[in-house]
Amino acid sequence: MGWDKEDPTDPKTGLLKIKKIPEPKTKDRLDCFIADCLNPRKRKSDIYEASLATDSKTLLPIVVSIDGTLSMRKTILPLQEHLHKIFKTLIAQDVDSPNVMVMCHDDELAIPPDAAFQMSGFEKNEVDLCRIIHEIDLPGAGGGNKGEAYHLPFYAVANHTHFEAKEKGFLFIVGDEEPYYNAGDPAKLGTSPEIAKEIFGDVLDHEVPMLESVKKVAEKYHIFVIRPAHTSFGQTQKITKAWQKLLGLAGENPDNVLEVADTIAINPVIAFVICLTRGGDLAKLETILKGQGVKHFCSTRAAVANLMPKEK
């Protein structure tokens, strides 16, 4: 791909469009087009470990999982272009060892019995994260069944990631659909033994309810759901409430479901959330983001308004 000659973080030379898996999306074609570095099928029953960089003191694992179906295409490209900047943002706030994992989940019902689920390792620097993001294959399938495979990133994080740190990590789910297919009950439905074995090589004797996975993730990560407004169902309040209910049942704050009006604000929203949750300096963060070219903060502040400290 020419990465040795080009800086993938340079918008003039490095940015590539996310690839789209061609039809028909069969298992053989998925294995062919999904990069090995993003294919958990090539790392059966493996644990993805977040760890401190050399001479570092503060480990902060961050996972960003993107709904890769067609209605989310306009959301994915700004994430691809700007997400790598999170390293500079966090390091400037005295987090000297951020580890960032990206996932792309889709709709395994649209590609039976397989899914184009993709999962990187925990990247420890800006250039490696940018390279990984450019390897993502956009499934561009699914929809029409009132839900995507949101249970998969929760299952993956719960059962296939590990870190040792004094504070929780962060999981961001970026998508516009409801938690489970066709208004299914996430307390009863989730990751089947068949899909767990196909993707992760796991042997299960029963279906793992989505809520069980969410609760397990919440033990180690702060969970946030980002709902981009411009997508097919990004402004549907019934779906927002379904996510709020799920997070509440898992012991998380229902206000962690964030509605983002402008796609370009998603990356600043992620930075704001981390800063607010960790008790950081928002004024300092805004200065950092302005230095990265962020010009407007209205949508960002609106998205995180319920997380802001209450004035006394």
CATH number at residue 197: 3.40.50.410
Q: Cβ distance 235 to 272 under 8 Å?
A: no
**Using CB atoms within 10 A of its CB, is residue 19 exposed (0-12), middle (13-18) or buried (19+)?**
middle
How much is the pLDDT for 2?
36
CB-based contact 154:247 (threshold 8 Å): no
49 inside domain: no
Q: Which residues contact 306 (CB under 8 A, 6 or more apart)?
A: 255
For residue 12, being part of any structural domain is answered with no
Residue 204: domain span: 19-44+59-307
Q: Give domain status of residue 198, yes or no.
A: yes
The per-residue pLDDT for 72 is: 73
Please answer whether residues 61 and 163 qualify as being in contact, where contact means their C-beta atoms are separated by less than 8 angstroms: yes
> What is the rounded distance in angstroms from the CA atom of residue 45 to the CA atom of residue 60?
24
Could you tell me if 233 and 239 are in contact, meaning their C-beta atoms sit under 8 angstroms apart? yes
Answer yes or no: is 54 within a domain.
Answer: no
- How many alpha carbons lie under 13 Å from residue 258 in its C-beta half-sphere? 30
Q: Tokens 């898992």 — which residue? A: 250
Q: Is residue 9 part of a domain?
A: no
pLDDT of residue 110: 64
Cβ neighbours, 10 Å, residue 96: 15
pLDDT of residue 1: 36
* Burial class of residue 158 (count of CB atoms within 10 Å of its CB; 0-12, 13-18, 19+): buried
Q: What is the pLDDT of residue 16?
A: 41
Closest CA to 155 of 122, 201, 109: 201
Q: Which positions of the chain have pLDDT values less than 50?
A: 1-6, 11-17, 24-25, 29
Domain membership flag for residue 224: yes
Evaluate whether residue 29 is within a structural domain.
Answer: yes
pLDDT of residue 236: 77
Residue 218 amino acid letter: A
Q: What value does the CA radius of gyration of the chain take, rounded to a whole number of Å?
A: 18
Residue 10 included in any domain: no
**How many independent structural domains does the chain possess?**
1
CA pair distance 246, 150, nearest whole angstrom:
12
